[in-house]
Amino acid sequence: MLSFRGVFWLLSGLTALVNSKSSAGDSILVVVEPNHRDNYSIFFDGLKEQGYELTFRQPKEDGPLIIQDDVPNFSHVILFASETKNLGKDITPQSLVHLLSLNTNIIVALSTKQTQLSSLATEFSLILPPPGTPLVSYFPERQDSASLIPVAITANPVVSKDLPPVWFSGVPQALGNNPLLVSILRAPPQSFASEIDGGSADALVEAAEKGGEGLWAGSQLSLVTGFQTLTGSRITWVGGVSLFNDELAQKEVTKGVKSGNAQFAREVATWTFQESQVLRIDRVEHHLVNATEPKEQYTNNDNIVYTAYISKYDVKTASWKPYSGLTDLQLEFTMLDPFIRTALSPVVGSPGKYSVTFRAPDRHGVFKFVIDYKRKGWTHLHSSTTVAVVPPRHDGYPRFLSAAWPYYAGAISTSIGFFLFSALWLGGEVREIKKGKGSKAE
């Protein structure tokens, strides 16, 4: 049973959910060193202006706890203590994974050093280079360090594509084959991270001669990576905490052009905290054509209407609104394998309504209406409704089939022929010729 404190935190969380700008709540725990807190004032002030309540905590402090009595105390967690090897007792890889299962969202800043968070990243299919291997690029030519790189924003579903380049300094990540990963910021094609001699010219030549051994390079590396669980919670891995600091937010990428760090960091937080790209299925309906009530079982070849109502979270009004913008939504009518897969299209004039009419297969059994919508950056939509499909009743079949008339005619003609033959045989005159006693055979 929950303690009184646990019930209090639960009620507080529900109250925050109602009044929050995020669909998951507006309370944030920020774990950061006190002497570094002012370095991220632009980012933190932007969150406060948005309506979030920020609580700051030192990395090695024991409170406030991120989770208590199996109830999260905060809707979101920001871990900016990238250089700290030992965090509080309640901040462990296991507790962070448990937070995700409780719909708490997390932003994690990584370091070039080996920490607990670096070990946790591998559990999310992120492959990090060895410790002490930052990303390096000598292009374009600039006065800054080779490890401070201007990175152009490439097309992705999380941030705006028209943002100015952002300054990045930190560690890259190679991505595994996990479909839940979303690459938000990719490394420039000419950048690399070398395990040998810090990426000197001689080291690059040596690595090239070995077929690229010990060399991490190219735009396939990710610098900021999102991960969305099947339950909808999100975690974002940032290769360097400096991406959020005030200095890089105000630094120019070219003369007269300020970097996009401030806006990029805000949009990353917007996605991570479930403000954007958040969908849900409000309800689903199924019934026969020209009917309104659902049935527990349908008959082979019935014409079925399936309807789903979908809404999207609107951060401006902090409410859910009908959404008809999905053009690739599909419905599966499945029994082990899909028997029918069809487009579930939006209904014109009915916001948020998607509907399709199809014929039940000529196969009886237990079927499911399944919606399984997975697109990178968007909330996963899943719905499953079980119904039975049965053969027609004995009185549900047609009395006569037009295709069987030749057989009907054959049966009828045979019956009529037999009757006539029997009548003639039984009713006809039978004559028998009797032979005399004195007659002789010739």
pLDDT tens-digit profile of 286-300? 999 999 999 999 999
Same structural domain, 286 and 242: no
Sign of torsion over alpha carbons 168, 107, 374, 336? positive
Mean pLDDT, all residues of the chain: 88
Same structural domain, 332 and 248: no
Q: 204 or 145, which is more confident? A: 145
193 CB neighbour count, 10 Å cutoff: 26
Which pLDDT score is estimated for 18? 43
Q: Is the pLDDT of residue 10 over 70?
A: no
Which segments within 169-278 are labelled E, that is strand? 174-175, 181-186, 192-194, 215-217, 222-228, 234-238, 252-254, 257-258
pLDDT bracket for residue 20 (50, 70, 90): low
Same structural domain, 149 and 176: yes
DSSP 8-state secondary structure symbol assigned to residue 347: P
Q: Is residue 430 part of a domain?
A: no
Here the CATH number for the domain that contains residue 384 is 2.60.40.1930
At 394, list the tokens: 């004995």
Same structural domain, 286 and 222: no
Same structural domain, 154 and 299: no
Domain that holds residue 173: 4-272
Q: How many Å apart are CA 107 and CA 266, to the nearest integer?
A: 12
Same structural domain, 13 and 142: yes
Return the residue matching tokens 């990178």: 376
Q: Is residue 414 part of a domain?
A: no
What distances in angstroms separate CA 109 from CA 65, 225, 361, one per listed residue?
Answer: 20, 11, 52
The three-state secondary structure class of 286 is: strand
Q: How many Å apart are CA 332 and CA 294, to the nearest integer?
A: 18
Q: Is residue 410 part of a domain?
A: no
Q: For the residues 205-226, what does the mean pLDDT come to?
A: 71
Q: Is the pLDDT of residue 345 over 90?
A: yes
pLDDT tens-digit profile of 351-369? 999 999 999 999 999 999 9
Of 272, 297, 326, the domain-final residue: 272
Q: Is residue 433 part of a domain?
A: no
Here the CATH number for the domain that contains residue 217 is 3.40.50
- Tell which residue, 185, 176, 98, 174, has the closest CA to residue 149: 185
Q: Is residue 436 part of a domain?
A: no
pLDDT tens-digit profile of 301-327? 999 999 999 999 999 999 999 999 999
pLDDT tens-digit profile of 154-192? 988 899 989 999 999 999 999 999 999 999 999 999 998
pLDDT bracket for residue 8 (50, 70, 90): very low
Q: For the residues 372-393, what does the mean pLDDT come to?
A: 95
The pTM (predicted TM-score) of the whole model is 0.83
- Tell which residue, 272, 274, 262, 267, has the closest CA to residue 236: 272
Cβ neighbours of residue 261 closer than 8 Å, sequence gap 6 or more: 166, 167, 243, 244, 248, 249, 251
Same structural domain, 67 and 215: yes
Of 242, 272, 302, the domain-final residue: 272
Q: Is residue 178 part of a domain?
A: yes
Q: Is residue 382 part of a domain?
A: yes
Q: Is residue 434 part of a domain?
A: no
Q: How many Å apart are CA 169 and CA 148, to the nearest integer?
A: 5
Of 272, 301, 332, the domain-final residue: 272
Q: Is the pLDDT of residue 437 over 80?
A: no
Task: Count how many domains the chain has.
Answer: 2
Same structural domain, 113 and 252: yes
Same structural domain, 60 and 8: yes
Strands 297-299 and 381-390: parallel
Q: How many residues does the chain have?
A: 442
Same structural domain, 224 and 173: yes
Same structural domain, 228 and 307: no
Same structural domain, 244 and 288: no
